[in-house]
Every structure is written in C-alpha cells, then in structure tokens.
Chain A
C-alpha cells in the first residue's frame, strides 16, 4: 500500500514512455500469484498487468521474496542418499537440456503495441488479427483457453458503449489494453485494472476516443449463456 501511495506522487513526469497505471491489483491476488495458488486465468491477468505496471512488479517481487524467506525457514526434509549423485549424472547427460516446453515459450511473438507477449501466447494473434466474435450491440469478444476455475476473454467495446460485466459470484477483473472506460470508481486507461466483487454494479462505459480493448477475467465459472444474457440486459437498460 505505502509503495503505491508513495509512487503516485512521483510517477508523473517520470521516465520516458507511458506512465505507470493508477489502478492496481489487490494484495491477495498478487499473493496468490506469488504462491502459485492463482489459477491460469488470474495468473494471465497478473502477468499482463505486471508487464505494464512497474509498481506492482515491485510488490510482486516483495511477495516472491517473502516466499523465498518462508521456504528458507522451513525445516529441511531428508533427501534420498543418492539424490546428488543422480543429479550429477544428469548434468553429464548430453541433450538433457531442461524443459522440452521451452521452445513453445520462446515462440516468437510479433511485436504488438496493444497485447503484451504473455497475452499474445493465449490469443494466438497480434491485436489486428484477433478472431473477434460478436457478443451483441457492437461488442466483440474472444474467449481465451485457460485451465482451472476462472474464465478469461478479450472484449472490444466501441466508444460510448457499456463494458459488459457479469459478476454474480466471485470476482471479476477488467484490465484495459487499449482506449479506456469510466465509471463511479474513476477513469481506467491502458494498464489499469478494475477489480469488482459480486456486490458491485457500476456500469463502466468506454470513453477512450477509440475502441476499448480489455482483458476480462472472472475467478468463478460462468455459463456463456448467462454472460451474454446479462451483457445484453445491461445494454437494454442503457
């Protein structure tokens, strides 16, 4: 908390490039990411925000350091007697480079001013080639495939339209990638995250002067039908 407060005053007129975001991830979400308890959708949200937010990168590093200290303090467990000998033997094996998964991670992402690379891996395309699906009333979305209980999607909302939100259980996080939106809690631009729980109903409206593209993650499972229904209801009320 204090890091955020402290930096709010210093970020304007900081280094070249975009200023850091003003709306950040809650501590308990960063903690889940540091501990590994966050599922894939929430982790994707966190990694995307961390790319765009040096303040939360510091907070996340502090929680990693907490994890390091806690593990350092654990009573050591006995290893099997030959554990180190086995490891040495593996170091000598040719072609035992770790992680066959690594080439996949290194898959060259095209550089893209909108989507951070970690997100491009999930979208499978740069921003101009996203396979948008209409969600109704000019709003498009594309579902991202993530394991675990959460859902992740990209939304594209034309200026002046409501950003569909669909929290009826659990938490929803909306991270702006392009354009912006405003609601009772303020103005949200690239890098900002709005976190809402099921008690919140605040109708964000896209207002960034261009299409608003955002990453929406819900940490409770939702049915698409109810999602679309709620989104359309929301528009109908406008």
Chain B
C-alpha cells in the first residue's frame, strides 16, 4: 500500500510538471465538445446529456489509452528494469501508473463536464458523479491494456498502432452518434466492443435512469474490462521474472 502511494505520488508530480500533456491528452474530446457539440445538440438526435457520456469514453480512449507511451521511455532508459529489481509487487508497479492515469483522467473529465455545463448540459449531479466513477473504472482497464501493449509491441509501433486503434473503437462505441441509428451489421459489430456498453451505461446515468439494464451492462462490462486489463498488465510486468 505504501509503495503504491509513493509510486502514484511520484508519477502525479511528474504529470503535473508537464501541463502540456495534461491538456493535450484531453484535446480531442474538448474539440468535439466545442466544435461538434452545438451541432449535435441541434441535430434532433439527442441533447448534451447524450453526447457528453460519449466524450467521456472518448477521453478514456485518448487519455488512458495512450498512457503506455510513457512507459516506452522508461523501458528504453532502464527505469523500468530498475523498478523491477525492487521488492515491490508487480501489480503495484502497474497500479502506481494506472492510478496516476485515473487521477489525471478524472480532472480532465470534470473539466469536460464543467465546460459542457456552460454550453448547456443539464444532468442530475448524482448521475454525473456516478458517471465519473464508471469512467474511472473503464480507464483502469484502458490504461492497463495500454501499458501491456507498450511493453509488448516494438517501441516504434506503439504510438501509430494505438492512435489508429482508438478511432474505430470510438466510432463503434456510439460515442458520437447513438448506435440506435445504426444498420443491423454495424450494431452487431459495435456490441462486440466493450465501449458500447460503457457509453450506454453512462448515458443512462446522465439521464437519471439508475435502474436501467443499460446501466447494469455498462457497470458489468466496465468492471470486467478493468479486471481483464489489470490481469494482463500484471502478467506482462511479471513475464520473464524469476
């Protein structure tokens, strides 16, 4: 536990020392909010309360999803090896980073919600807070998988592969336009991705439908995704260890 707080604190200090990357990794959802949101709101498809949950998932994909980028350098410079030679458990070495990513993402997510409120978002506070929590759970999985990919792919492949992967995953989640509009085949493909369930769960929270099956699915899939991510990430940190 102490090792975890020490690591998370260290990484947070490093992140806040680099304000540019704090803003940059949330830039895409912000651009969609400001430049696409007003259109969406008037399109008749749905209101801000439909769009913003999608942008939270997009944030998870861009912010937590690209988290692995940092570990590429740590691996190259021997920092990771030096951490692995300490007695700290491998899951802690992973979670120290993931927790930092969650804190960063929460700050970004709050900022998006505040900006959206200024633009006209109206949603129950309890629902929005619960949505932030659910977004965090999703990001645990996302960041962990990002580290797994970063330690598995060749160094120079990580950035192009991940930034390319994020696009179809986001489109298939229905983050930008609800999948209820989709033709059957697209709907089916979309259901094969975890983010579809997260988006719909978040929308349920923003709509205040706390007893909907969409919310149950959103929670179950996000939790399963987080567990899967941490398990794979830990085993990647563990691999090759004695």
Q: Tell whether A pairs with B.
A: no
